[in-house]
Amino acid sequence: MKKDGTWLLSTGHFLNDFYCNFLPILLPIIMPKLGISLTVSGLLVMVLSITSNMMQPVFGYVMDRHNLSRILIPVIPFGAICICSIGLISTKFMLFVIIAFTGLSVSAFHPLGSTLVAKTAPSERQGRSMSYYIAGGNLGYALAPIIVIAFLDRFSMTELPWLMVPGFLFAFICLRSGLTDFSTVAEQAKGKVFHLREVFHNAAILRLNIAMGLRCCTHVSMSTLLPLLLVSHGYSGILSGTLLTLFLVGCTVGGLIGGYLGDRIAHKRIIIVSLALAIFPTVYFYLHPGTEPLSLVALFLTGALLLAPQPSSLVWAQRAMPGSEGMASGMMLGFSFGLGSLGTAITAALGDQIGLTPALLISSLTLPLAAICTIFAPFPQKKE
């Protein structure tokens, strides 16, 4: 009999993304300690992005062929050990090493967690289960800055290892949960090996990847450049961080609602409508950044509409790639965000030339393009 592991896996996703978002808070502290320049800081962020995002399809590909469900137990403690030891290191080389390993733990958990959600959740609740799983990660990512700042307000960097404790508790619970009894290898994969080159001949998954990559150009640009936009308009760093949290909470709520509606209405319809509507609050906030009530509502709705398509995109991708659910998940949760990071770099460079607000407004034009791309992508009605 199936055991629904959605809530435990959502908790794991919370911790996984919680540890992943330590770096932005810790950078201002470790930069003077290790003599790190802004250029080196940018390289650190790039290394984390590559190992935590772009490697996900690779891990997913391997998990589709080899049962790696047992790494669910050590993967989050491993990431916790890496990032929480950052206050104990004394060289730039070791800093790059632990950041790279932290990212690899993220890349390993994402396709593993979403594959096990798909394995254990009832078929009629796939969208909702994925939305809970995604919401766990979004919430952990949103709360990390607040929790780390509060911790460092009372303790030193050398005491960060205490924050490893939740990761080890999760591992202990997983050990007793029975989730690792489920194989990551799909039945379809036993008779058919999906090769990466097949992505380029799979219209559904290729167009969906493009659409989600375009969506992430706006999403990652907002989450990365929002503090800079607000500071440039005279707001404090603390208030900027608070509004970033509001945006990320909106993402969490939008993911939950999007997954529920995807099951009730249609996954493709939810993606198209969300992407088409998202440009309105996004543009409004870029033109009226600040704390006015309408601006705050627009910021929250921007996050909600940008994340509403993600659970449905996971269900879609896994149906379009039967037997390769792990690789499909890696594309939706990792590769698309990697493309978004590239779009953010372009937006930032454009901002140096024409100003941050015009550059962000231009970046939001990817949303209707993503909606159009989704319209022409065939949706698989059922798993093959």
Domain count, the chain: 2
Question: Do 258 and 168 share a domain, yes or no?
Answer: no
Residue 260 and residue 270: Cα distance in Å, rounded? 10
Rounded to an integer, the average pLDDT of 168-176 is 91
- The answer to whether 302 and 319 are in contact (CB under 8 A) is no
Q: How confident is the model at residue 187 (pLDDT cuts 50, 70, 90)?
A: low
Cβ-based neighbours of 60, under 8 Å, separated by 6 or more = 111, 115, 324, 325, 326, 327, 328, 329, 330, 331
Rounded to an integer, the average pLDDT of 315-334 is 77
Tokens of 227: 């503090």
Select from 268, 303, 272 the least CA-distant residue to 368: 272
- The answer to whether 237 and 227 are in contact (CB under 8 A) is yes
The 3-state secondary structure of 70-134, one letter per residue: HHHHHHHHHHHHHHHCHHHCCCHHHHHHHHHHHHHHHHHHHHHHHHHHHHHCCHHHHHHHHHHHH
Residue 98 and residue 82: Cα distance in Å, rounded? 5
Question: Do 299 and 215 share a domain, yes or no?
Answer: yes
Domain boundary among 118, 145, 179: 179
Q: What is the pLDDT of residues 239-290, one digit of tens each?
A: 877 888 889 889 989 988 988 888 888 888 999 999 999 999 999 999 999 8
Query: How far, in whole angstroms, is CA 17 from its chain's centroid?
Result: 8
Count of CB atoms situated within 10 Å of the CB of 178:
11
Question: Do 123 and 263 share a domain, yes or no?
Answer: no
Is the pLDDT score of 38 beyond 60? no
Question: Do 162 and 203 share a domain, yes or no?
Answer: no
Of residues 325 and 2, which shows the higher confidence score?
A: 325
Question: Do 166 and 251 share a domain, yes or no?
Answer: no
Q: What is the rounded average pLDDT for all residues in the chain?
A: 84
CATH classification of the domain holding 128: 1.20.1250.20
Percent of the chain whose pLDDT exceeds 70 = 92
Question: Do 282 and 164 share a domain, yes or no?
Answer: no
User: Is residue 185 a part of any domain in this protein?
Assistant: no
Tell me, what amino acid is at 60? G
Q: Which domain holds residue 216?
A: 194-374
Q: How far is CA 206 from CA 48, 49, 212, 377, in A?
A: 25, 22, 10, 8
Question: Do 202 and 343 share a domain, yes or no?
Answer: yes
DSSP E strands in the chain: the ranges are none
User: Is residue 219 a part of any domain in this protein?
Assistant: yes
Domain boundary among 145, 179, 213: 179
Is the pLDDT score of 345 beyond 80? no
Question: Do 241 and 331 share a domain, yes or no?
Answer: yes
Helices and strands (DSSP H and E) totals, the chain: 17, 0
pTM score: 0.75
